[in-house]
Chain A
């Protein structure tokens, strides 16, 4: 079964009918639920989803009961997706920079390497770093990194060559895996 790292916007799109990948997101989540693919999400994704929901909520006036946190409601739905795995790697490792010793989480260390190679945004690097480390440290070889981020997909060939997994858009994954 193929292991798929799901980027934040792709998963959130399941609850956003206006998103261009809404239908694909539903199919991907359905494939995770029925165990046709292994879906992997991250703590980083949860934090990012919470942030984008809260920021958007601040732009609109929604009539919600005061005890309801909208970002919490979306997060709950994400973690309730059957068989979706939420993984993280936060090992601190001893690091030396400019002769100074300190501890740095391995995900940041890996993202430094990615940043120097692909010139992507910070969170893009962190998501990719997690995908790389899941393979290196947990034996969870990622086959596909599904994202709606054009910059990541623009680097797909180089990322595949360097790290072994293919970044692609949701519609590409749906076609490729026949979801």
Chain B
């Protein structure tokens, strides 16, 4: 995969973080410090972004199902007296 590397930034790191980085490089997890910082920072930024999106529905989604298939069928009958497609199409008109 091609990666666009747009800009170089300089950052001061704590000694223990540098030691850990170098240890991971020695272990072969990263090719060099630059790659290590890039990969770790990118991963952490995505986690922070995901945290910003956290909402009640996302918290609910992380849980195991609380309703059985049968319960969903029963509820489904009440929610959609007829074709689901009609209601989906209605949403698509918006």
Contacts and interface: CB of A to CB of B under 8 A. Distances in A.
Indicate whether A and B interact: yes
Interface of A: 7-10, 12-13, 15-21, 48, 50-53, 55-57, 60, 62, 65, 67-77, 80, 121-124, 147-149
B11 interface: no
A18 B77 contact: yes
Contacts of B56: 69
Contact of A18 (B66, B82, B91, B93): B82
A4 B58 CA distance: 28
A17 B78 CA distance: 10
Given A71-B57, A72-B57, 13 more contacts: A7-B88, A9-B87, A10-B85, A15-B69, A19-B84, A52-B91, A69-B57, A72-B60, A73-B66, A73-B67, A77-B72, A124-B92, A148-B84
Among B65, B88, B93, find the residue whose CB has the most chain A CB atoms closer than 10 A: B88
Nearest to A51: B91
Nearest to B58: A72
Contacts of B64: 76
Given A121-B92, A122-B92, A16 B79 contact: yes
Contacts of A15: 69, 72-73, 76
Interface of B is mostly: helix
B75 to A, nearest CB: 6
B51 interface: no
10 contacts: A9-B85, A15-B73, A16-B73, A19-B83, A52-B84, A70-B67, A71-B57, A72-B60, A77-B72, A121-B93
A13 B84 contact: yes
Contacts of B85: 9-10, 13, 19, 21, 147-149
Contacts of B5: none
A9 to B, nearest CB: 4
